[in-house]
Amino acid sequence: MPNRLTLSELVRQLAAREVSAREVMEACLSRVREVDPHLHAFLSIDPDDALAQAEAADRRLAVRPLPDDQPLLGVPVAVKDVIAVRHHPLNCASRILGGFISPYDATVIERLKAAGAVVFGRLNMDEFAMGSSTENSAFGVTRNPWDPTRIPGGSSGGSAAAVAADECIASLGSDTGGSIRQPASFCGCVGLKPTYGRVSRYGLVAYASSLDQIGPLTKSARDAALLLNVIAGHDPRDSTSVPETVPDYTAALAPELHGLRLGLPREYFIGGIDPQVRRAIDAAVSQLQALGADVRDLSLPHTEYAVAAYYIIATAEASANLARFDGVRYGRRVDGADPVEMYARTRGAGFGTEVKRRIVLGTYVLSSGYYDAYYLRAQKVRTLIRQDFLNAFESVDALITPTAPTPAFRIGEKAGDPLQMYLSDIFTLSCNLAGICGLSVPCGFTDAPRLPIGLQLLGPPFGETTLLRIAHAYEEATGWHCQKPPPTPTP
């Protein structure tokens, strides 16, 4: 079935006319109908629009030579429900946005469409990207394709589950503290968080503006490179976008790693890591050494303060960003006797428990008398964490860590304990605080039940080329990324 192909395989077959864009889109839609009633990766799909886009792609594919500026011509890409797509719902998995329809395309969507991709479907997520399990969606839980009694990770759980289950060829997610990489690890796919400023945030509904970044979830490192080629680049509509030249990320992919120096930060190899995760990471390190990499130990001394700093900074920014959802301009509105009562009723009815928790925390740390004690101090810690990474990258080209301390946990297992849920991102959130790039690639499975394990690679600012090279070489040597979940996952 063409929906089981990788993006790079599909591009070749479409160009050779071995398969049509409509056939690929029909295969994806058929797969969604087959498995999504069990997985709930998608919140909505417009099949007619998707097929119309595919037919338009087929007309362009019939003309020779093929256009050089449309490298994704006919490729179906699904989108997390926090990224704006014109004339499609934009609910952020929240009831407060009601039936809001986006009036414009995000920059990444403009670039996907210009590259010829078929953009379809809205993918489930934790409400406003606040969560680590996709259990916080107002529209139901997404399940893991490898074991539907378990979570797919979060907040981009729908994006990872849809790719792993072959419901789409690739997807876009967003990553504020690990929300691309952690679900990629739990679902057995590749997830890339680009450097802050590498990909435009215009059209991404903000959770924490200094941390958020859009990135790809794919079936291989080469696919991630192809997708990043399209969505990366400066955008004047995003003031945080960096005018840095975009390289061809596929050009540096190679089957060996000779000359690369990789670091093992000792603070990431701590008590509490599942023994099977540790075993898989140790095996991956040995494999990277066999491919020619020089692996050495090092320290990131301020890592222990990352979780505390993150949950002060992220919640503070969330409190400010979500103030716009007040029932006045768009989305849901619950009337009251006066504006203040209307605001309170609208937000009380529209936001879920976790979003309310983070707004309250953020409002508290920004309040008079607490700003210096919490928010300002957290920002100073953030600077120290970033400097730790920059110091490390003076002696190594990239860092190797587990993506998550455990494999996917059971649905409901941590729902009543916010602290344990927050610790699911303990290895990923420092990357966002430092503004560097990170990638998760499959590196093995637990014994029983058989659940994916992810290896995290962390690189210096704009070091995506190096991360993709390492991930590709590792994939070529191991093949973990080729493993597929059960064909018809049911709880």
Q: Which residues are catalytic?
A: 80, 155, 179
Distance between CA atoms of residues 346 and 328, nearest Å: 9
Query: C-alpha distances in angstroms, 2 versus 9, 12, 57, 184, 484?
Result: 9, 12, 16, 22, 14
Distance between CA atoms of residues 199 and 215, nearest Å: 8
Residue whose C-alpha is closest to residue 168's, from 281, 285, 41, 82: 41
Residue whose C-alpha is closest to residue 430's, from 311, 270, 310: 310
Relative orientation angle of helices 47-61 and 7-15, to the nearest 10 degrees: 50
Cβ contacts of 60 within 8 Å, gap of 6 or more: 66, 67, 70, 73, 116
Collapsing DSSP states into helix, strand and coil, what is residue 41? coil
Collapsing DSSP states into helix, strand and coil, what is residue 478? helix
Q: Is the dihedral angle over the CA atoms 445, 448, 451, 453 positive or is it negative?
A: negative
- The strand pairing partners of 101, in sequence order, are 89
CA angle 189, 190, 196 (to 5 degrees): 140
C-alpha count within 13 angstroms, C-beta hemisphere, residue 128? 28
Distance between CA atoms of residues 178 and 186, nearest Å: 12
Q: Is the dihedral angle over the CA atoms 5, 213, 432, 98 positive or is it negative?
A: negative
Structure tokens at 29: 């839609």
